[in-house]
Structure 1
């Protein structure tokens, strides 16, 4: 079994601003502090309000309203909103699907160091979505996100090293990055690490260690791990 690059874009993690209930009207009918801040042009509040609409927190869920607030925030250069807007375009949530627009916003956020945007930009290059296919560019962006501890990027960077896609093949480096992602609970990385212990690629063979990691992945519902597990337990 070999590890595969993830086939979809990842939604950026949503930050919450400490304002209690997100946008619900106060008892006297006045707007919440967050709503007021967003309408005054506060970029962080606009992003948080977009999150509220995206997830239906204290407001009726509306992808269109979410995008509207993300756009306001992103236009001020706020990287998390740019990343969220890129995800909206890549997924067609609240806006028509547009890979070029998605890449444009991922690039803006990635250039500011946003890890989820760096990962998604890597995915765009890996899949040739909105940009020409380039394993080298993909690996470069995975690496930037991985160095920030972003688990999906750690796994994909490990897979790149395992297969020699965009980087020189190096099983030791593959295991290094699989381990980092696996320790954060990434099921695909746990499976890949378990397989490395089975095959001895990049690490000394160990049935016991293989069983530990395959079991962890199987417990999370990873289908590949669940298929491997019975044979390991014999």
Structure 2
């Protein structure tokens, strides 16, 4: 491609100057005569530079294409990774939703159990209150029973004291009663003599003495 352009340029330059005439060039108000061959060499250098630029552009294009392919591959890999991540995320979300559902069910069960426990506690409170009332009544009855026992003991002690006083009074009454003198079965000789002496001064009614039994009955003091 570069050689073809160079041939065309050479042909064009040859047509412009067939007699090898010099070309006038103005530079800084000075005129310089340049042969036609120098002009051709400059044109050849320009064509060479253009060919080099085309090669560089081609290399850049090839390099850019490779980079794009690499970038596309990386993007595709990243996309696959993102898809996998999304799938894993969806799976985790599903698991979390399942766990959340189970947690809600457990919460409902716990709420139900809590309600039942509260009801049971209220029942136990009522039962405890009833037991406290019964215990209070029992304590009151026990207190009354203790007081009754105490009163009964006091009455028993008082009764014992009264019985003891009655015994003492009976004993005193027995001791206060006059006791009759015991009658001897046979009078002592001194007593008989004393009675006989005293009997001289006694006046007995006149009675018949022909019966010994009557005499014995009339002399009853001698027995």
Structure (1/2) with the larger strand percentage: 2
Larger radius of gyration: 2
Q: Same fold (TM over 0.5)?
A: no
TM-score, normalization: structure 1?
0.17
Structure (1/2) with the larger helix percentage: 2
